[in-house]
Amino acid sequence: MAETPVIKFENVSRSFGIGPVLEDVSFEIAAGQSTCLIGPNGGGKTTLLRLMLGLIRPNKGTIQIFGSRPSRVRKRVAYVPQHIRFDPLFPVNALDIVLMGRLDHLKFGRYCDDCKNTAQEALAEVGLSDVAQRSFADLSGGQRQRVLIARALACKPELLLLDEPTANIDLSVEARLLETLEKLRGKMSIIMVSHDLDLISHITSDYVLCVNQHVHRHAVADLTGDVIREIYSSERRVEHEKKTLHKQGDHSHCDHS
* Start-to-end C-alpha separation, the chain: 43
| pLDDT value, residue 174 | 72
Which pTM was predicted? 0.81
Q: Which residue did the predictor score with more confidence, 189 or 172?
A: 189
CA distance 207 to 140: 32
CA distance 128 to 33: 27
CA distance 9 to 61: 8
Q: Which fold does the domain 7-223 belong to in CATH?
A: Rossmann fold (3.40.50)
CA atoms within 13 A on the CB side of 218: 27
Residue 111: pLDDT band (50, 70, 90) is: confident
Residue 227: pLDDT band (50, 70, 90) is: low
Q: Which of 36, 47, 27 is nearest to 215 (CA)?
A: 27
Where exactly are the structural domains of the chain? 7-223
Q: Which of 133, 124, 173, 130 is nearest to 153 (CA)?
A: 124
| pLDDT value, residue 34 | 87
CB atoms within 10 A of CB 65: 26
CA distance 29 to 153: 20
For the segment 149-183, what is each residue's pLDDT rounded down to a tens digit?
899 999 999 999 999 887 766 666 677 777 778 88
